[in-house]
Amino acid sequence: MILKNKDIITFENKENYEFYNLMSKFASFKKEPFYNNVKKINLILDKDCELRFIKAYVYEPDIYKLFKFENLDINKSLNIDIESPCKKSYFYNGNHYFIQGDNDFLSNGIRIILSNINDIQDFENMNEHQFNRFVEFCSKYGCIQYLNYIFIFAKHITYLLKNKNNELYNLISCFEQDDKLFIRDTAKILVLLYSIESRLYNLDKIYSLAMSDNFNMYEKKFLYWQLVARYFVDFSLEYYKTFANLKNLYSDIYKLAEERFGKLFNPIDRLQYKKNRILLLTTQFLSFKHAPTRRAIDYAINFMDYLGYEVMILNTSDAKMITGLPYYMSSEFYFERDYNELDTLKIDDKHSVKFLQLGVDHIDVNEKNYVIEIKKAVKSVCDFAPMYVLQVGASCIFADLLAKYIPVATIPCSFDAPIMYNGYPIIAREVEDRDIQILENAGISKNRIIESCITYKIPGTSNIKIDKKQSEFVIVIVSNRLESEFDLNTLKICEEFCNIDDSIVIKFFGTFVTKDNNNAYNKFLKLINENSKYPDRYFFEGYQNDILSAYTACDVYYNPKRHGGGSSVSQAMLMGLPVVCHKFGDGSYTLGRDRCFDSDEDIINEIKKLFEDKEYYESSKQYSLKKAEFLYDTKSMIIKLDKDIRKKISDKVLYDIEID
């Protein structure tokens, strides 16, 4: 934390001098005049008491960094941006301003208040001794007042915590044992610290905290979606346990939502449904390149083209996926505000749909505004009056509340059973005993399950054949989460591929989910350079806008052991690539479970056989082409999906409704 000449640091009591002395060991503080009373900040006002807004980054209640004083008129452009029980900040012209006065009139007693603002700090020279000093300090003093500092601190010493794993838990223990903190304050800090590193133990701890009464419904929902993301990417092998945890937390959130908002859905009861209309629900709607968004759009196009249905898309904005760790209630998350103003979405020159996005784009939701958004959505559903609703994705509170009055079928973007509460779960493959067991454990009976299929849409392509070196045998891996889906274990398997013959090379198509792609890419290179005997045989090609053409320069598609991969497997087969896949995750269902392998040794032997046996390679290629022909028969697939849904809801399992 480097303070400049005009910066002011204010301490309220002597204990904070210890905080200052400690922090000076972590960063460079430039000493400035000390003021014993925060009201001294009123010196910034002119003699005629002209209001002067103060732009500030605030680290905790008693230490302030002030800079760039600006004269601004009070006007209607001021909007409340962050709320807490007793504190507010204002957002004006792209900047945060922190001011509060009597009755919020902003005329007297102006003071700067605590807020959830981050600043980049220099912790590059921090060492283990300094970290231990911070742990000691946290143990000695009540620390909720330093929550913002702890957040910044945690983000910038992740490398130290990862090298000294026990230190993180020592720090956590300090907060757990600090009897000066309120229970809710402790819970907030523990969630933040546990989320520094994505470990199954840490996520399970966050789950336990989220299930407590220390967090409100909106905070629980925020934590739920972060757990969904991390469980999916890093711990899909723990499927049974993670599904149970997520279902329990989701049920907890649903019950809170039903108690608060359930009655708002009453107008939907006894509607005259129009049989040629379908409502598509999503929980996240980003760019057209975003896979779940693209899936919803493709369903809309298919329902219009092959069934002649009128389609509406409603994005509930529930899935608040943050852009980085650790978790914090003011975290930036993925959300496209431009969609808030749309009532019609133009997909392309031939396709447009009715559209509504709930404009709740922050975590500390103003419930009054949220109720207004729900009422608006309910009215839109009433006006549109669809014969059924298809929830694309999973875990949508709005969909489950809606399902009490209108048929709602939920199809996930993967081959897993969806996490839901009401309505009809769609399993997009042959239903297995484990699906029935998992859903029944979650309170969903077998007779509500719809066995159907996932539809695929052929991506755009220029149909260009890319030349490759005849001397190379190219194995391709495709992922947009390379930092988590390509690890040391996968590298070891690839090393065995390279051992087969000097002509074998490994190519990577895709990108990294980490916001700082350069940092993720450097870690990716470091993993290969430090652990591979053949670093010059690994090539990162980046994201491919024309993935089908890119596949023409490859020989085999390898799907690492991961939860996803279904779409890229189908696209590789469309281009006739033999696919080698573990018997796990979406990719295995796309390829066919009977073509997949349980052990790493079998995976390596399959690559060896494809490399050495030309006849076997050709037969594998023909299998891919034939299976792709089936997968990309979109018309047949969408007709089957619609028929399966209509047949199930006509059985009146939950609803007294007639659909031909």
Rg of the chain in Å (alpha carbons): 28
> H helices of 385-516, where?
397-402, 433-441, 482-485, 488-500
pLDDT digits (tens, 9 = 90+) for 642-654: 998 988 887 554 4
How far apart are the C-alpha atoms of 296 and 319, rounded to whole Å?
A: 14
User: What pLDDT does residue 83 have?
Assistant: 32
User: What pLDDT does residue 556 have?
Assistant: 98
User: What pLDDT does residue 518 have?
Assistant: 67
* Token pair 């603002």: residue: 117
pTM of the model: 0.69
- pLDDT level of residue 240 (50, 70, 90 thresholds): low
Q: Give a three-class secondary structure readout of 231-257.
A: HHHHCHHHHHHHHHHHHHHHHHHHHHH
How far apart are the C-alpha atoms of 157 and 127, rounded to whole Å?
A: 9
User: What pLDDT does residue 584 have?
Assistant: 86
- Helix, strand or coil, per DSSP, at residue 12: coil
How far apart are the C-alpha atoms of 201 and 450, rounded to whole Å?
A: 34
Top pLDDT among 269 and 496 is at: 496
Tokens linked to 423: 């309505």
Those residues whose C-beta lies under 8 Å from the C-beta of residue 170, and which sit 6 or more positions away, are 135
User: What pLDDT does residue 615 have?
Assistant: 97
How far apart are the C-alpha atoms of 551 and 461, rounded to whole Å?
A: 11
Top pLDDT among 72 and 527 is at: 527
Tokens linked to 6: 């005009």
What average pLDDT does range 630-645 have in this prediction?
90
Top pLDDT among 209 and 68 is at: 209
CA distance from start to end of the chain: 68
Q: Among residues 445, 498, 435, which one has the least CA distance to residue 472?
A: 498
What average pLDDT does range 100-124 have in this prediction?
31
- pLDDT level of residue 139 (50, 70, 90 thresholds): low
Report which listed range, 5-14, 71-80, 438-447, 611-620, is most confident: 611-620
User: What pLDDT does residue 94 have?
Assistant: 36
How far apart are the C-alpha atoms of 23 and 2, rounded to whole Å?
A: 11
Q: Are 322 and 333 in contact (CB under 8 A)?
A: yes
* Token pair 């006007």: residue: 75
How far apart are the C-alpha atoms of 430 and 108, rounded to whole Å?
A: 69
Q: Which H helix or E strand runs over 230? A: helix 217-234
User: What pLDDT does residue 110 have?
Assistant: 28
User: What pLDDT does residue 36 have?
Assistant: 26
Residue 384 confidence (pLDDT) above 80: yes
Signed CA dihedral, 305, 309, 310, 311: sign only: negative
Which of 29-33, 132-136, 224-228, 362-366 shows the lowest per-residue confidence on average (mean pLDDT)? 29-33
Mean pLDDT of the chain: 73
Tokens linked to 643: 């028929």
Residue 137 confidence (pLDDT) above 70: no
How far apart are the C-alpha atoms of 595 and 583, rounded to whole Å?
A: 8
pLDDT digits (tens, 9 = 90+) for 591-604: 999 999 999 999 99
Which of 173-187, 295-309, 608-622 shows the lowest per-residue confidence on average (mean pLDDT)? 173-187
Q: Are 548 and 461 in contact (CB under 8 A)?
A: yes
Query: How many CB atoms are located within 10 Å of the residue 573 CB?
Result: 28
- pLDDT level of residue 470 (50, 70, 90 thresholds): confident
What percent of the chain is modeled with pLDDT above 90?
Answer: 32
Top pLDDT among 188 and 334 is at: 188
Report which listed range, 67-76, 359-368, 416-425, 577-586, is most confident: 577-586
Q: Give strand ranges (E) for 88-198.
A: 88-92, 95-97
- Count helices and strands in the chain by DSSP H and E runs: 22, 20
How far apart are the C-alpha atoms of 257 and 264, rounded to whole Å?
A: 11
- pLDDT level of residue 365 (50, 70, 90 thresholds): low
Torsion angle of C-alpha atoms 286, 476, 547, 514, degrees rounded to 10: 20
Residue 111 confidence (pLDDT) above 90: no
Top pLDDT among 156 and 280 is at: 280
pLDDT digits (tens, 9 = 90+) for 499-554: 999 999 999 999 886 655 667 888 889 999 999 999 999 999 988 989 999 999 99
Which of 157-161, 217-221, 396-400 shows the lowest per-residue confidence on average (mean pLDDT)? 157-161
pLDDT digits (tens, 9 = 90+) for 8-56: 333 333 344 444 443 343 333 333 222 222 222 222 222 332 333 333 3
Which class for 370: exposed (0-12), middle (13-18), buried (19 or more C-beta within 10 A)?
A: middle
Q: Which H helix or E strand runs over 532? A: none
Which of 122-126, 174-178, 307-311 shows the lowest per-residue confidence on average (mean pLDDT)? 122-126
User: What pLDDT does residue 514 have?
Assistant: 64
What average pLDDT does range 150-161 have in this prediction?
51
